[in-house]
Amino acid sequence: MEEQEQLQYANPSRTEIGTMGKFPLIERLTADFAPHCATTTRAVGDDCAVIGTGDELQLVSTGMMVEGVDFDMTYTPLKHLGYKAVSRVLSNIAAMNGTPEQVLFSIAVSNRFSVEALDELYAGIAHCCERYDVDLVGGDTTSSRIGLVLSATAVGRVERSRITYRSGARPNDLIVVSGDLGSAYSGLLVLEREKVTFQADPNFQPDLASYDYVLDRFLKPEPRMDIVRMLRELDVVPTAMIDVADGLASELLHLCKQGNCGCQVYEERLPIDYQTTRVCSEMSQNMLPISCALNGGEDYELLFTIRQDDYAKLKDRDGLHVIGYMTEAGAPAVMVTPQNTAIGLRAQGWQGNQADA
């Protein structure tokens, strides 16, 4: 048996996980799973699973966070971590144009953490649940030998007439994004810089007051439920929508692939906060704010497409930015620079066992 296992691992056809991106890996692992239940309306491939056959559909989304991969305890307050773990999955419900109602939360924890530390973690969970009128309804707890592992599952609902998938964009639809982009990644850059300084000098006391916005964006992101409510009030149903978890470029490519379209966005229209620009200038001459916006990730803004007829309803709304439009099938996904140069978009987010943000 041992010899067979050795031969298996020596197989030259073995594919290393690190050679595949996150989404090709998911597609490969789930390719043979076909829905068997009539109530499974949408399975793998969107921000949420969609369950139901009536006029109202149930949304379910889950997300994991692993210490050392998704968060660093050197600079992550446990209360913020609990809040963020819930916020991330609520954002997936928002990306389907739905309303979250319940959350389940599971942890695997090592004996490095005290009961009081877990009290802090769950205080953050409770704060996020209270803010968004969500009930904690269950979960699981087990031990871990590698640190802290978190898993949150959100359950929500949406009317069939208002549900928004990634796959609905059509040529000439306008591309809209909420908020600003790249600020969460900028916050991570600041924290990583201060960590290096602290490791060199344990007496170092960082002054982070001038970075409050980008730090909040990384440590305590907010799901854009306010945008979902705004769209409802304006009677606008996006043709496609996704949240910006892996960077704008990656999310645009998802919309293009699933809608069988190309896209054209304009660099000068991408919303970038001044703190993001300042952080990039401090880090390196080669660190461009546009790179943070395209590839940083974890902004949890909503990226969606609308019919041109709906533009008049949204054009004067604060916090919404029209950044381009969808193009015909077979056309590339590009960003147009102020010099009118078209640059092809590439996904540079999660790869193998690491994430950029």
pLDDT in tens, 284-341: 767 899 999 999 999 999 999 999 999 999 998 999 999 999 999 999 999 999 999 9
Q: Say which CATH number the domain at 40 has.
A: 3.30.1330.10
Across the chain, mean pLDDT equals 91
Report the percentage of the chain scoring pLDDT > 90: 76
Are 173 and 310 a contacting pair, CB within 8 Å?
Answer: no
Share above pLDDT 70 across residues of the chain, in percent, rounded to a whole number: 94
Question: Does pLDDT of 242 surpass 60?
Answer: yes
The residues near 336 (Cβ < 8 Å, ≥ 6 apart) are: 264, 265, 266, 267, 324, 342, 343
Using one digit for the tens of pLDDT, what is the confidence trace for 56-110? 999 999 999 999 999 999 999 999 999 999 999 999 999 999 999 999 999 999 9
Is 354 part of a structural domain of the chain?
A: no
User: Does any domain span residue 167?
Assistant: no
CATH of the domain at 283: 3.90.650.10
Task: Judge if 209 and 301 occupy the same domain.
Answer: yes
Tell me, yes or no, whether 145 and 210 share the same domain: no
* pLDDT(3) > 80: no
Looking at the structure, tell me whether residues 69 and 208 fall in a common domain. no
Structure-model confidence comparison of residues 19 and 282, the more confident one: 282
Q: Is 45 helix (H, G, I), strand (E, B) or coil?
A: coil
Q: Where a domain ends, among 159, 186, 216? A: 159
Q: Are residues 136 and 245 in the same domain?
A: no
pLDDT of residue 354: 37
Q: Quote helix, strand, coil % in the chain, to nearest 5.
A: 35, 25, 40
| Average pLDDT, integer, range 193-213 | 86
Higher pLDDT, 261 or 287: 261
Residue 194 pLDDT more than 70?
yes
In the DSSP assignment, the letter for residue 79 is H
Inside any domain, residue 249: yes
Based on the fold, state whether residues 125 and 187 are members of the same structural domain: no
The pLDDT confidence band at residue 11, using thresholds 50, 70 and 90, is low
pLDDT given for residue 12 in this prediction = 63
Same domain, 132 and 260: no
Please count the structural domains in the chain. Answer: 2
Q: In the predicted model, what is the mean pLDDT of residues 149-166?
A: 97
pLDDT tens per residue across span 166-185:
999 999 999 999 999 999 99
**Pair 287, 338 in one domain:** yes
Task: Clarify whether residues 41 and 149 are in a common domain.
Answer: yes
| Residues 147, 187 within the same domain | no
Query: Cα–Cα distances in Å, from 236 out to 66, 160, 163, 259, 312?
Result: 37, 14, 11, 19, 11
Residues 179 and 57 both lie in one domain: no
My answer on whether 220 and 336 are in the same domain is yes
pLDDT reported for residue 107: 97
pLDDT greater than 50 at residue 253? yes
**Which of 31-45, 98-112, 149-163, 319-333 is predicted least confidently?**
31-45
**Is there a single domain that holds both residue 209 and residue 138?**
no
Give yes or no for residue 262 having a pLDDT over 50: yes
- For residue 8, is it within any domain? no
Q: Which domain holds residue 325?
A: 174-344
The pLDDT value given to residue 332: 97
Task: Provide the pLDDT for residue 7.
Answer: 47
User: Where among 98, 129, 159 does a domain terminate?
Assistant: 159
Q: In sequence order, what are the residues at sequence separation of 6 or more whose Cβ sits closer than 8 angstroms to the Cβ of residue 6?
A: none
- pLDDT higher than 70, residue 353: no
Task: Say whether pLDDT at 187 is over 60.
Answer: yes
